[in-house]
Structure 1
Amino acid sequence: MEQRDVDIAIIGAGTAGLSAWHTASKHSESVVLIEGGEHGTTCARVGCMPSKLLIAAAEAAHQARTAAGFGIRVGDVEVDGQAVMARVKQQRDRFVGGVLDSLQRIPEANRLQGHARFEDPHTLLVGDHTRVQARTIIIATGSRATWPSMFDAAGDRLVTNVDIFEWSGLPESVAVFGPGVIGLELGQALHRLGVRLRMFGVSGSLGPFQDDKVRDTADATFNEEFYVDPGARVEKIERDGDAVVITFVERESGETLTERFDYLLAATGRRPNVDRLDLENAGLALDDKGVPHFNRFTLQCQNTDASFGHIFIAGDANQELPLLHEANGEGRIAGDNAGRFPELRAGRRNVPLAIVFTDPQMATVGEGYAELEKRLGGRDQVAVGEASFDNQGRAVVLRRNRGLMRLYAEHGSGQFLGAELFGPQMEHIAHLLAWALEQKLGVAEMIAMPWYHPVLEEGLRSALRDLNANLRLGPAITDRCMECGPGD
């Protein structure tokens, strides 16, 4: 084996790993980036970008079909599945190419290809060709799809998001398991592109929502368009020829049905890629899923003796917040601390922000409702304000007037705490609220900001006014836009 002695070794060349490399390399030229799989990041290759390309095509088809609501006749809408997937893959490859170009700017001497595993806390074996001795190590190995063993009955008709973006065309039917972020985004997109679809869940959860009112609104809205059962009773999954046969209890009627599908899409969660790192040789304390315990501000992994040492973990591998912007930020923190170790700096963690690109969109800002209740000591400690989009002016104009937003604040201080959002273009309102939470604004300060008319953000103003009226502090701000009427 070749022997390499380096200051910093980074396992994984995804978003977190690349971010860590660029930051660590400011401290030392002796940094090696190790990748055991395909280059290109999960986001660019099989995640954020190809899924949004598929959603964009689905949105175009949906807008064409529903244009009659504006008095516009466009005739029959025909979806060319091969053309749709050709564009998805072409643009996906362009995004991946950008990542690969960035990777090529890293000197070849600082890159290693091969599966890495720990030989001891400071030593990595890379493939069967290189032993790397490192002063500090960053684990940034990402995650992969996981599913229950009962899905294995589908054989090669069991697919994940990775497989979908290699399709050359669109199937006739798909059964989606998992109404979370991936399942809802891909499921609705496939439905709007003409794929027959049923979506099944187990726990009753839907997307990222913890607030029952927002969740129930989303449940009812999605079910107007396609079948979703977040608490499904699936009795059997079988393979018959080229079809997946699913027997389940129909949600409304309670009748047992058996239906055939071309594919079973497993969107039932992701597991961190730490199980093949031989972490038992690294001296780390692991949780019941085999993931190292770590400090979220320094991203140091905890040792078995409860100390925190020279190994760091960032991105989807730690399973805290598996989102690209979090992976990027965590990579910077881990890279900086690995580079300056044993000196450390607590990295700044932004407020939680998550967006689901369904229609209507789903978003959460800050802690969820259930988390706030638990942290603050009960439901009566959390002030809630809400606004529906059913009669919101701009939403009515756009014929997108479905949704509900719920905002949370602390009694006494009036501090804004977070939100769960379901409605049109929530990606933008969620950012406004995340910035307000990052700046620790109070509800009254947020209401005092400028509000244009007519815009969707006026729905946010209505929710803030409702929230302020429900706060137990001082006189509530209850003025209304007299010219616009309710639902402004």
Structure 2
Amino acid sequence: MKHLTVDVAIIGAGSAGMSAYRAARAHTDKVVVIESGHYGTTCARVGCMPSKLLIAAADAAHAVDGAHRFGVLAAPAAIDGQAVMRRVRGERDRFVGFVVDAVQGWPDEHRLVGHARFLSPHELEVGGHTVVTAGRIVIATGSSPAVPAGWREALGERLIVNDDVFAWDDLPESVAVAGPGVIGLELSMALARLGVRVRLFGRSSRVGPLTDPVVAAKARAIVESTVATSLDVERIEPVRDGDRVRLRWLEDGTRHEEEFDFLLAATGRTPNVKGLDLQRAGIEVDAFGIPHADRHTRRIGKSHIFIAGDAADEQALLHEAADEGRIAGDNAGRYPDTIVRPRRTPLTVVFSDPQIAIAGESHAQLLQRGADFASGGASFDDQGRSRVMGRNLGQVQVYGERGTGRFLGAEMIGPDAEHIGHLLSWSAQHGLTVQQMLDSPFYHPVVEEGLRTALRALKEKLALPQPPLADCLDCVAAPVV
């Protein structure tokens, strides 16, 4: 058994772990990053990037199929599944290559391969070959797809998770998708547009992360018009039938049955902390075995251990993981001094079509904290630029604080939500009022004019005093479609 002593040990070389490594090295060169799997982040290998490659192919097919609406006559899109997946895998491998090259560029003594587990608060056993003694430790082990009990045993290779999709050589004929969250929504809509027969299953009426009842209802209607759905299923019973999956489910009191090539379990992700033997680390964990850290320091209690990224089971988003890794690595490097770091305004984007965005505080979060707020909304169904592009589907709801007029957040489904979401999150982070947002430029004709309609409706709901005309650029603006 080898022995290694370092100032900082980082478990995991994903987005959070890589950021932690760079931050810790600003304070000490006695750092080691421990990784038990392949180098290459979840985002690059099986998450953000390959899923967007599949969605890009689906968008191209959808554009061809809808060209006739503009007087452009074309045959229906012919999908070459092998070519689609060849590009997805090729570009995915390119993105993974950048990550692998970055890690391989680190000094050899900073990389250690093997599964890590705690022996004591300061000791880690790695791969049965090395004991690492570390002054501080950063847990950045990521997460893995969660699969309902019994499904894998019943279905074998006919049960897949999102990781498996990007290993396909060709597109299948049919896929059942369990879970209408972000992953299930993106993949089910993309596969359906690429000619795969898809049925999306859920246990409630919600689709994606939306919490505003107006936006959520609109989103459900849009999804149901695009993909075959069963979103109020009481129970799903999957069984193996040769090379097929036979699904039986109960919906509205009626039993249904259908066969598919695969069942894709998009039923959430679980933090990879189970095999760390955290009970030996001297830190507290919750009922699920997950330690919780201060959001602004990433320190677990008063210990020398920090946690970042998906392992913390907070916001499983790359930019959040990178920020958390940077905070954790910096504080681990400078320990026992720790710095309280600001956090960015929350921003979530779902690359469905139309896209979904939540910027700032969600409707549910505002209700939970008892905020005194009002909301204003607008539909994109008749919005000028959206109709011009033939992408006129969606709804936006914006929230403002009564009394101050401060903008608090928004939820939306609609065209270009990925871009509008950024504008809204920036506005929330900088503490703008609804009036200040309305006084900002809105070009014509643009999709953002739909947002302005919602902000005007919110301003009326807030019943704020009308500012002097000289100070209010929007007060005399003519309505624009």
Q: Contact 1:173–1:263 (CA<8 Å) still a contact in 2? A: yes
Partners of 2:38 and 2:9 lie apart in 1 by 18
Matched residue, 1:213: 214
1:480 Cα offset (Å): 7.5
1:159 Cα offset (Å): 0.2
1:466 Cα offset (Å): 0.7
What does 1:184-333 correspond to in 2, within 5 Å? Answer: 184-249=185-250, 255-302=254-301, 308-333=302-327
Partners of 1:291 and 1:180 lie apart in 2 by 22
Q: Contact 2:142–2:272 (CA<8 Å) still a contact in 1? A: yes
Q: Contact 1:150–1:237 (CA<8 Å) still a contact in 2? A: no
Matched residue, 2:142: 142
Name segments (4+ residues, structure 1) moved above 3 Å.
Answer: 475-484
1:369 aligns with 2:344: no
Q: Contact 1:142–1:316 (CA<8 Å) still a contact in 2? A: yes
Greater mean alpha carbon deviation, residues 81-90 or residues 224-233: 224-233
| Secondary structure at 1:176 match in 2 | strand
- Rate the CA distance shift 1:447–1:175 in 2: closer, same or farther, 3 A: same
Q: Contact 2:188–2:227 (CA<8 Å) still a contact in 1? A: no
What does 1:17-416 correspond to in 2, within 5 Å? Answer: 17-152=17-152, 153-249=154-250, 255-302=254-301, 308-376=302-370, 381-416=372-407
1:471 aligns with 2:465: no
Task: Name the amino acid aligned to 2:436.
Answer: E
2:420 to 429, 440, 451: 429
1:222 Cα offset (Å): 1.1
What whole-Å deviation, never above 9, does each CA across 1:7-47 have from its counterpart, x for those lacking one? 00000000000000001001001000110111100000000
| Secondary structure at 1:342 match in 2 | coil
1:368 Cα offset (Å): 1.2
- Rate the CA distance shift 1:235–1:17 in 2: closer, same or farther, 3 A: closer
Task: Name the amino acid aligned to 1:29.
Answer: D
Partners of 1:348 and 1:385 lie apart in 2 by 29
1:227 Cα offset (Å): 1.6
| Secondary structure at 1:264 match in 2 | strand
Partners of 2:167 and 2:233 lie apart in 1 by 29
Count of residue correspondences:
475
Partners of 2:412 and 2:306 lie apart in 1 by 34
Matched residue, 2:444: 453
Partners of 2:255 and 2:230 lie apart in 1 by 14
Q: Contact 2:205–2:220 (CA<8 Å) still a contact in 1? A: no
Partners of 1:235 and 1:341 lie apart in 2 by 50
Task: Name the amino acid aligned to 2:303.
Answer: G
1:84 Cα offset (Å): 0.3
* TM-score (ref. length: structure 2): 0.96
| Secondary structure at 1:292 match in 2 | coil
For structure 1, the residue ranges without an aligned partner over 5 or more in a row are 303-307
Q: Contact 1:386–1:466 (CA<8 Å) still a contact in 2? A: yes
Partners of 1:11 and 1:139 lie apart in 2 by 5
Partners of 2:146 and 2:368 lie apart in 1 by 29
Partners of 2:145 and 2:71 lie apart in 1 by 44
1:293 Cα offset (Å): 2.1
1:473 Cα offset (Å): 2.6
Partners of 1:97 and 1:112 lie apart in 2 by 19
1:366 Cα offset (Å): 1.5
Q: Contact 2:359–2:410 (CA<8 Å) still a contact in 1? A: yes
1:255 Cα offset (Å): 4.0
Task: Name the amino acid aligned to 1:132.
Answer: V
Partners of 2:261 and 2:296 lie apart in 1 by 45
Matched residue, 2:9: 9
1:481 Cα offset (Å): 5.5
Q: Contact 2:34–2:112 (CA<8 Å) still a contact in 1? A: yes
1:205 Cα offset (Å): 2.3
| Secondary structure at 1:141 match in 2 | coil
| Secondary structure at 1:334 match in 2 | helix
1:239 Cα offset (Å): 1.0
Task: Name the amino acid aligned to 1:268.
Answer: T
Task: Name the amino acid aligned to 1:432.
Answer: L
What whole-Å deviation, never above 9, does each CA across 1:376-422 have from its counterpart, x for those lacking one? 25xxx221011100110000000000000000111001111100010
Task: Name the amino acid aligned to 2:141.
Answer: T
1:472 Cα offset (Å): 3.7
Q: Contact 2:35–2:113 (CA<8 Å) still a contact in 1? A: yes
What whole-Å deviation, never above 9, does each CA across 1:300-326 have from its counterpart, x for those lacking one? 112xxxxx1100000000011110000
1:202 Cα offset (Å): 1.1
1:250 Cα offset (Å): 5.1
For structure 2, the residue ranges without an aligned partner over 5 or more in a row are none
Greater mean alpha carbon deviation, residues 310-319 or residues 67-76: 67-76
| Secondary structure at 2:326 match in 1 | helix
1:233 Cα offset (Å): 2.9
What whole-Å deviation, never above 9, does each CA across 1:164-187 have from its counterpart, x for those lacking one? 000000000000000000000011
- Rate the CA distance shift 1:323–1:123 in 2: closer, same or farther, 3 A: same
Q: Contact 1:234–1:246 (CA<8 Å) still a contact in 2? A: no
* TM-score (ref. length: structure 1): 0.95
Q: Contact 1:368–1:420 (CA<8 Å) still a contact in 2? A: yes
Task: Name the amino acid aligned to 1:416.
Answer: F
- Rate the CA distance shift 1:480–1:62 in 2: closer, same or farther, 3 A: farther
Q: Contact 2:361–2:408 (CA<8 Å) still a contact in 1? A: yes
Q: Contact 2:8–2:31 (CA<8 Å) still a contact in 1? A: yes
Partners of 2:185 and 2:229 lie apart in 1 by 9
